[in-house]
Structure 1
Amino acid sequence: MTSGRGTDGPLDGRVAIITGSGRGLRLAYARALAAAGAAVVVNDVDAEVADAAARSITDTGGRAVAHVGAVGSTDVAQALVDRAVAEFGRLDILITNAGILRDTVLWKMTDEDFDDVVSVHLRGTFTCVRAAATRMREQGEGGRIICVGSPTGQVGNFGQTNYAAAKAGIVGMVRTWALELARARITVNAVIPVAATGMTETAPFLKPYVDALHAGEPVAPYARRELSFGPPEDVAGLLVFLASDAAADVNGQAVGLGGDRLALWSHPTEAVVAFADGGWSAQAIADVWPKEFTGQLQTVGQTFPQAY
């Protein structure tokens, strides 16, 4: 990727779109990329929020414009790319992070609950990445695409059928896009963040640590290390790294960060393999299961050690 403007930052001269970046964790990403030298297109569905976010960057010497639109449709995705090119001349970085929640258990989840979340998270990621990748390939200078997942998409979470499906699908698409875009020198990675946001602050087990943040107090080491929990700014450095030349060889990965904990998630892989000549009957499976498979069954949901 090229660079131009002389800020000497790792993203000097580059242009980024960050979807859903009007507030919270996503705004922390936008501010961090701008501080690293990138010009940023801030996106939100609320015009006042988007404008305020862009001003918070320009008031401190960064470059940013606000673009209002609800991601999901092809038209909004293309409009974001067109805005980046019209304002700053090119596009080098896309971070997809727009999202909504419609949490409820399976038997109470409506079609609208499911469709709304999947449309914003999953379809919105697809349409924005397609538009951005097309532009980056036309430029012929590579690029960085970073899609934001969630621990829920990796391991599941009670009451989040729609969100888990969308976030798991995003990581699946990332692996495919990493293969498809590698020849064009466009890397595609997923970030699995954990931080104090509107989406996490309602979790009862996080309340003591959320209260500490609101009171301006430090978060306990247990939360920062074992729960990967801290303020949004803790995560922003990972986005700058993945968008920079330092991560040129990082592709198709899911990387987690929160608090003091940086982690590389594994791809799904076979945990146990057994063979039977001629194939498996139900009885043969029942016979081998307790001996070979029971002890290797995988956990679901997030598990945490006891606080110390």
Structure 2
Amino acid sequence: MSLAGKVAIVTGSGRGLGLAYAQELARQGAAVVINDVDEQVAGEAVATITGAGGKAVAVVAPVGSTETAQQLVKTAVESFGGLDILVTNAGVLRDKSLLKMTDEDFDLVINVHLRGTFTCVREAYAYFKENKVAGRIITIGSPTGQRGNFGQTNYAAAKAGIVGMVRTWALEMKRAGVTANAIIPVAATAMTKTVPFFQKAVEADERGEAMPDFFRKDLGFGTADDVAGLVAFLASDAAAKVTGQAIGVGGDRLQLWSHPEAVATEYKDGGWSYEELVERFDDLFGERLQSVGEEFPELPAELQPEAAGAK
């Protein structure tokens, strides 16, 4: 087993993607600290791992605070003797268009996703550095953070921020031999279940059937288990040279996302005045402006949502 003797923390791992990550890490030999806000859900997640012969304990606490981050690391060390892997998966959604989004909607999503990632990584890295552990930091991004999405100001900001932190951490942690990467998963979860575009795929998954190839291949949309293999790989010694990357995975598709780069550059002696920009901007950049949002191919007729008002 590639992770035998390793210890991992997976936040938000009571169900869904987080549980799939935790189960795969355990299957590869790691002892796992499960985290959820629901004690029963966390206990059931632990049972799925220990029942299969693995090692797991639970920390029931909301991610975001330094106190929870400290509790997670302390539990890993006290229960299993150390820490090697951190997967920051915990998240919530409060989707609303900008004018309907409240301060509370914004703050909650930022606190769990962005601050929760920051506090947990800071605590784990402190342990790695003090104990000379070549640890693995695996964070969770989203296509929304890469491209934007209507009604997700808070979520887009958090997920884009996570990838930005990963690039910075890759620089800061290099000397310590610690890697930091972001996964961009696309999978059937409670978060995607309500999206009509993915209805047929999610329904197939719930029936235990294979998803149609259109979803798995054309959209790169699959199951939670399709993502878990990448988590285990990035946690392993085989990925020791992979750091600072955003890697997309879903269905049958694996993607390496680019870092932001300038797509066009122009110079003018003396700089660019307002008048010069008014006169020349469209000619210089008009045809090279970047698109926003994800662009999906049209659903085949047989995969269209069945509900009359679902489109």
1:34 and 1:217 mapped to 2: Cα distance? 25
Which residue is 1:20 aligned to?
A: 12
Which residue is 2:294 aligned to?
A: 302
Report 1:41-190 matches (<5 A): 41-190=33-182
CA displacement 1:113-139 (0-9 Å, x = unmatched)? 000110010100000000000001111
2:66 and 2:133 mapped to 1: Cα distance? 24
2:209 and 2:47 mapped to 1: Cα distance? 28
1:184 and 1:213 mapped to 2: Cα distance? 41
Which residue is 1:254 aligned to?
A: 246
Q: What SS does the aligned partner of 1:276 have? A: coil
Q: What SS does the aligned partner of 2:164 have? A: helix
CA displacement 1:76-120 (0-9 Å, x = unmatched)? 100000000000000000000101111100000000000011001
- Paired letter, 1:245: D
How far did residue 307 of structure 1 move? 4.3
Matched, 1:200 2:192: yes
CA displacement 1:210-249 (0-9 Å, x = unmatched)? 1222222221111112211111100000000000011000
Segments of 4+ in structure 1 off by > 3 A?
none
- Paired letter, 1:192: I
How far did residue 181 of structure 1 move? 0.6
Q: What SS does the aligned partner of 1:190 have? A: strand
Which residue is 2:25 aligned to?
A: 33
1:86 and 1:217 mapped to 2: Cα distance? 41
Listed as ranges, the gaps of 5+ residues in structure 2 are 301-311
Listed as ranges, the gaps of 5+ residues in structure 1 are 1-8
Between the two proteins, the alignment pairs up a number of residues equal to 300
2:281 and 2:186 mapped to 1: Cα distance? 36
Question: What RMSD, in angstroms, separates the aligned Cα atoms of the two structures?
Answer: 1.0
1:287 and 1:273 mapped to 2: Cα distance? 17
- Paired letter, 1:20: G
Q: What SS does the aligned partner of 1:78 have? A: helix
How far did residue 295 of structure 1 move? 1.2
Which residue is 2:259 aligned to?
A: 267
TM-score of the superposed pair, with normalisation by structure 1 = 0.96
Percent sequence identity over matched residues? 61
CA displacement 1:184-206 (0-9 Å, x = unmatched)? 00000000001000111111111
CA displacement 1:112-167 (0-9 Å, x = unmatched)? 00001100101000000000000011110311000101111111111010011111
Which residue is 2:217 aligned to?
A: 225
**1:290 aligned to 270, 275, 282, which one?**
282
How far did residue 283 of structure 1 move? 2.6
TM-score of the superposed pair, with normalisation by structure 2 = 0.95
